[in-house]
Structure 1
């Protein structure tokens, strides 16, 4: 599990997160974090991944302080972060990108690859295609598939619908729901209705602070969410 305990986070002299605490457990299916642009959602995922330090407070991954771990060590423990930028290797094939996702994995690469292909059949069809030549939706599926190749216990997805057409967005969310049957999903997403509709537990993050938490459906019905985001 990942535990965030009263963290303050800044970029230089600009503080981004304030006294923020929450936990993601392997018993969760989907935990969603919603809020406006600039609220600190992506920064929070970077901190949890070991990519950005905290000024105060503590983040632990399965009992170990993230501050003392390399990002690759956090991946090995079971937390995998698929960033908003996707960060695919554009000149490499789909299959090669998936293989890169498995570099920390101790199990069978071929078995995991087949599981990803079953979840995203288009990746098997296009496995020899250059990643950069794929559509936006296909690239997003590849980014998620590459994350799954590390066999995560918790898969963090940052804005998986970014830049996608509504039809493709719906398909991506269907896949996220399917993934959550076996892997805990930590979801940061601007499509508030979809993110909260999937979530067992959800947090509203505004101006670097968690304003409220509740079940996804309950938060979806709150007056503040309806007025500000729907």
Structure 2
């Protein structure tokens, strides 16, 4: 059984079509599946559709063998798919620990165990546990967003541009964290740092103009002419 199956997905914003007859899969033996492409290609729209924020015009989405094409986003979380958006969507007036508690609303019985796991992964969050999320640096907020996603015990964690606007050293830390997470949780990664993202990937997809243009292993995409010419110049 695949963790995710997408078949013939078409998505519109009003009269504007963003995704066109898109099909992809995330297999149960994948650690990281990376989706790359230019701004405006439809990458964020795809993640929002997988997570139930957007409803497709047509096509089918299956998560862990269940058709989730038209169900609520909260039900998709219950089925094991968690989406950490580029905006992070933290509760700025709540503490770090309260934000983590919000992430565990479907797993209340294991809150303390999962919180301690997040603190072990991100020690700075334990140091800031009583501070409001709005007072954290950009890198710390990204750590908190990822940690809050992990509190729901996902089988698939989708990360949308996790290194966006971070200093190079912090971006490197995020990529190391993704590699660590992928030992236990399958990661679907949308990322502009194409070389780093595909370097982590078991498989990748190149999305352009709302369509899958190329797919293969991470290495195959890194070596493909389409990726080298379009995204790895210099």
Q: Given the two structures, how large is their TM-score scaled by the length of structure 1?
A: 0.98
Q: Say whether residues 1:189 and 2:203 are aligned partners.
A: no
Give SS of 1:147's match. helix
Unaligned runs of 5+ in 2: none
Residue 66 in 1 paired to residue 68 in 2?
yes
CA contact (8 A) 2:55 2:70 kept: no
Q: Does 1:17 align with 2:3?
A: no
Runs of 4+ that moved beyond 6 A:
none
Corresponding position of 1:92: 94
Partner of 1:214: 216
Q: Are residues 1:152 and 2:125 paired?
A: no
Q: Deviations over 1:194-223 (max 9, x none)?
A: 110000000000000000101111211112
Equivalent of 2:167, from 165, 168, 171?
Answer: 165
Aligned partners of 2:60, 2:66: CA distance in 1, in Å?
10
Moved more, 18-27 or 118-127: 18-27
Q: What's the RMSD between the two structures over aligned residues?
A: 1.0
- Aligned-partner SS, 1:108: helix
For residues 31-67 of structure 1, give each alpha carbon's deviation from its aligned partner in whole angstroms, at most 9, with x where no partner exists: 0000000000000000000110111111112232223
Matched residues, number: 230
Q: What does 1:102-117 align with in structure 2 at a 5 Å threshold?
A: 102-105=104-107, 107-117=109-119
Partner residue of 1:36?
38
CA contact (8 A) 1:26 1:154 kept: no
1:41-97, Cα deviation, whole Å (9 max, x unpaired): 000000000110111111112232223421111001100000000000001000000
Q: How far is the alpha carbon of 1:27 from its aligned partner? A: 2.0
Offset of residue 130 of structure 1: 0.8
Q: Evaluate the alpha carbon distance shift between residue 99 and residue 26 of structure 1 in structure 2; reply closer, same or farther with a 3 A threshold.
A: farther
Match of 1:4? 6
> What SS does the aligned partner of 1:145 have?
helix
CA distance in structure 2 between the aligned counterparts of 1:44 and 1:73, rounded to whole angstroms: 18
Partners in 2 of 1:61 and 1:180 — Cα distance?
18
Q: Secondary structure of the residue that 2:25 maps to in structure 1? A: strand
SS in 2 for 1:214: strand
Structure 1 Cα separation of the partners of residues 212 and 178 of structure 2: 24
- TM-score, length basis structure 2: 0.96
1:57 maps to which residue? 59
CA offsets 1:15-44 (integer angstroms, 9 cap, x no match) = 100110011133210000000000000000
CA distance in 2, matches of 1:44, 1:68: 14
